[in-house]
Every structure is written in C-alpha cells, then in structure tokens.
Chains A and B, each alone.
Chain A
Amino acid sequence: MNAIARVLSKPVHRAAVAIAIPLLAVAASAAPASATTIERVVSASGIEAWLVREPAVPLIAIDFAFTGGAAQDPAGKAGTAYLAASTLNDGVGEFDSKTFHERLEHKAIELNFSADRDALRGSLRTLSENRDEAFADLRLSLTAARFDSGDVELNRAQILSALRRATTSPTDIANQRWWDIAFAGHPYSRPANGTLESVPNITIADLKTYAHRALARDNLKIAVVGDIDAETVKTMLDNVFGALPARAELTPVANAGPQGVGRRAVVNLDVPQAVIEFGGAGIGRKDPDFMAAYIVNHILGGGSFSSRLYQEVREKRGLAYGVSDSLVWYDHTALFLGSTATRADRSAETLDLIQKEIRRLADDGPTAEELAKAKAYLNSSFALNLDTSSKIASLLVQLQRDDLGIDYIARRPAMIESVTLDDARRVAKRLLNGGLLVTVVGKPEGVASTAPTAN
C-alpha cells in the first residue's frame, strides 16, 4: 500500500543517523573483485579520484566532499555552509534557477549538495547517455553559483521553517540539547542548519565568501562509480574541478571531547513517549584501539537484533521499539552516541537498564562467544555495503576523508580478526567507563536533571 503510515517496519534502528554522516560503519570483507577493484585516477592537472568501474547498469554516480563544513560558520552566522549548499544547485552561470532545474530535470540528472559539521558534500547521479550535460551542470554549480537573492530567500525560509518545527520535535530537542552541553563554546555545538537567531543574519556576501574559501582542490575527495572508464574520468576531473582554487582558506577548528559527562538534562515536553539520547567520549578512527572499540560497540548496541541493549530493553521487557548506539567520529572529536524512546512511566527504568548494561560491559568485557560472533558479523556484513553504486561512492569518499588507504577494504578482515578477548576487555573499559551525558525530552517519571558538576 501507499502512504508511509501504512508501511511499518519492525525495528527501525534509528541509531545515530540524525547525528553523524561520518558514521558509515566502515566494515569490509572478501568482496567481489568487480565491485571492489578501486582505481586511483589522477587527472593531468593532478586532481585525484577513486573509481570503481561497473558497466552493468548504465548510470554514473559521483560523490565528493570538501572539508570545511558548518564548523567554518562565522560567529553569529551558524547555518552559512548549509544555506550555501542548499543554493548551489539553483541559479548558475547564465541560467536562473528555473532554467537550471529544467535542464537537470529534463535529463533526469540528480545533483544535490549538503553540509554537515565537517564538510560540504555533493552527489551527482546521471544516466551514462547524459553524462556530458551532467558534468557541465556540476561544473557550473561548483564554479558559477549565482546566489540570486530570490533563491537565497526561499532556501532561508525553508530552513527557518524546519528549525521552527525542530523546536517542538522531541527527537530534535534531545539531540540538540546533547550537543549544546557536550560542545559548549565549540563550533560543533551549533546545528549545521543554524538557529532561528543566526539564519536571518546570513548575507549573500557570507555565502559567496564561504563558497570561495571552502570549494577548493586541496580539501576535496572524489569518488566515481559506474559505467565510465578511467580516461573519461580524468577528463571530467579537469573539466569539472580544475577551475577551483588550488587551496582552501579554512579557519582552524580545535579538537574537543564531550563535556558534561555524568550529567542528565531533562527538557519537559507534553508528549506520551520520552526520547532519550545518551553518549560519551569515543575512540578516534585512527586510534589503534578503534577496531576493538567498534566490535565492543557492536556487542553493546550495534546494528543487529542480538545486541545487549536491544535484548534487554526491547526483547525482554518491551520498553522501547528501538534502542541502539554507534561509534561516531568527526574530524575533531570521537564519540559514542545512542538513543531510545520509551513510555513516560518507565523512563527511569529504561535509563537505569541502559546504564547498567554499559557498566556491566565496561567491568566484565564481552564473552568469548560474543566476540567471535561480532567479528563474524562485521566481516561478512561488509559486502552489503557494496551492492549499489551510491553506497560504494559514499564509502569511497569516507575512506579517503578518513585517510585509511586505498587498500583498506582488503586489510580490514585481518584488522578485525586480530582483536583478542583481552583487547576487547581493555577497550570496553576505556570506551565505556567514562560516564554518560544523557538528555531526556518528554514527561519522564523519576528522571530529573542533575547539576552540571555531578559525575
């Protein structure tokens, strides 16, 4: 049937999707030669892309990311990168917004931009037969965006509408409250799409300045997947990205860890179900303990129906529809973050249960059986990340941004296998002993805010 109200999935793992793009559970195992033969392609002018050639379906997917996202927003102007990204595919060069959208739509070219805390990201999808027009359109967006006042004002109004809606959405409030406390004083505390106060302050000059500073060649990572060969990619790279400035002009962003660990913050809202967000310091993507932490997190609250949190909170007690947590990493912090939603009168029980499970895993570590199962899962599930062009393109950009090497997918199974039970126990302590910052939105019975100093 039709409307989504009719389509009910069993357990939607809400996970940290609202929180992090860099989450892409990077996992890999023996994957098909065809789908994982990654070529490093470098154009005549030195622009690099990773290519997976796949001629079976007549389409091309290009994903790319410029480091320098919302964390670059000037003080008082949070949302600048986001508004700029929203307007990049409106008027460009000689085309006003209407004409440009007609061009794209007539050829079914999908060209989208977004900004998160760390990066401005773009994606292009085209049928191979329309690739030349698609590449030309992408070049115009990156180098000749007009930022016409009508387009900017419409995008601004749409963003403000979304921000107003977020003020009464329990999920949005819980998430934003968490980041407000955890990153007070740091650019990461601000929502990528800005605030009701900041978005009206952003000028067209701000958008142009941002685009000029951030859209450059030295902070750019590109992935190309589909029905295209390396020579064509090289020409495309120079044509599309060659006119960008060589160097980005980015403001340094400080590394930071979450503050407020040990604290609970309750926001009252008149809804029947309390939304809970919890998290603490994580382990960095390039930390030698990352893979052990990734496994430990999988056992605690990762993606399968067998995680400890899922079993205890949902399966045994029926306290929630979903509960999960994820390792999340950004360019300047690493976290573990989880969430759930539960009835008001059992909020305290749910929260205590989650904290008890985290403590138990920190104290005792996983069992040998859990470790073996988690390794098997993380190894063989990786192929599921490689079965569409879009997934592969997204993964290849992430591997480049994380600087993991073009051979990472081949090395990953051994990295997982090498984690011992002792490693897992030690890292469980390191990851889970630091305490939690918890935010709760709703009418949770028996859960109160605690003082910022409590631990």
Chain B
Amino acid sequence: MAKKGDWVRIHSIVLKAEERTAKLPEDTKKCDLQQWTKGFLQNEEAKLGDEVTVKTAVGRLVEGTLIDEAPCYTHSYGKFVPEIIEIDRQLREIMNFGGEA
C-alpha cells in the first residue's frame, strides 16, 4: 500500500487503438498509445491498480493507474556476450599488443 508523498510510477492510455488516426503501420494501429510517468502520490493511500494522482518532478499533477511503488531502474550491462571477448582477443592479436608471446 502506497501512502501520500510516496514516489510512484503511473500508467495511462493516451489514445485507444481505435482513436489513433495518424498514418501508422498495421501492427501499431492495433495498439493503444500508452504513457508512463513518475511522481509523489497525492492520494492518502492507494494500492497497485488504483486510479491515482501524482505530482511530478516539475510539479505537474497527472492522473493514471498506480503500477509501481518505489520504482527503480533495472537496466544493466546485460548477460555475457562471448563475441565481445573474441573481438578484443582478435584486435589485440592483430596489433601484436605486448609483443611476441
């Protein structure tokens, strides 16, 4: 349960698929235009899925569905990609770094 003043993430539908009139590829036409932003919860308390209002970093009041409490970043340096090590090995070998073994 999030409380007033907590930093949360909200989601909303800006345009439903059928409301999208711009020139779009067929696959995109079938999708809603969705939007996410973050801010301080303005409701006294709310649980995930509730319609809430937040105050964003610049002070805008924005409405949306509460989807995350205490949102954090999860992007990373990714899983191991062996090809990268092979590139490194190859380049250093061609350039003969460190001289003859």
Q: Do A and B make up one complex?
A: no
